[in-house]
Amino acid sequence: MREEIKRVYEQWKNALIKTDVMALERLYTEDFSWTNHMGTTCNKPENLFKTKFGNVQYISWIDEDMQINVRNEHAVLKAKEVLKILVYEQRISIVRNIVATFQLHNGQWLLAKIEERKNVV
């Protein structure tokens, strides 16, 4: 089960890196939400809309300290993400701790929620 969660997380990560909105659409639950480090939450349509414009480009993405806990039809992945990104053409290095919640839907793990905390380095 943990390997399945890790695989879906990698698919999500690769879809973000490639700005693959169609893949993200398939990976998210209908009630998906993403809460950033400032407490602002975007729902699925808002998140897909923002991703589509490609204002964030990933230069590098390293995951550290990954922990995965699976309980029945729910799973939680915690990780530290070390990112180098371009935001509106400005290069930024970020370390953020995320909690990703997954739900099992019709035999497939989907991403239900992302919660992040960020520290600029």
Domain boundaries, the chain: 2-120
Both structure tokens of 59: 């230069």
How does 35-71 read in b/e, with b if 16+ C-beta sit within 10 Å?
A: eeeeeeebebeebbeebeeeebeeeeeebeeeebebe
For residues 64 and 46, what is the distance between their CA atoms, to the nearest angstrom? Answer: 28
Tens-digit pLDDT profile for residues 74-95:
999 999 999 999 988 899 998 9
Residue 55 one-letter amino acid: N
Tens-digit pLDDT profile for residues 6-27:
999 999 999 999 999 999 999 9
Fold of 2-120: Nuclear Transport Factor 2; Chain: A, (3.10.450)
